[in-house]
Amino acid sequence: MTEYKVVYLIVERGAEPNRQTFWRVAGAAYVCRDGSLNLKLDMHPGLTFNIREPKSNGERREAVADTWPTRQPVNTDDIPF
């Protein structure tokens, strides 16, 4: 039997106290022999993502630097109100 996990998309709508949370099935994650996960998402059926621990601290720093969002200054002159 293949070991897998269900991937959920969690959507929050509304403001407190009327906030609603919806959990929708978004795909599946299959456990590989090496303990990593292969992720298949319904919204991207042709793609497979692999989730695993970094091989070294250098790889971890590179991954974080490439994906960590940076704050951009907001130009308030473009806001129409």
DSSP string, 32-72: PTTS-EEEEETTEEEEEEEE---SSHHHHHHHHHHHSPPPP
Beta-bridge partner residues of 41: 27, 44
The pLDDT value recorded for residue 55 is: 78
The pLDDT value recorded for residue 24 is: 95
For residue 77, the 8-state DSSP code is G
Per-residue pLDDT of the chain (81 residues; tens, 9 = 90+): 468 899 999 999 988 888 999 999 999 999 999 989 999 999 999 999 999 988 776 666 666 666 656 655 655 565 554
The pLDDT value recorded for residue 81 is: 46
The pLDDT value recorded for residue 69 is: 60
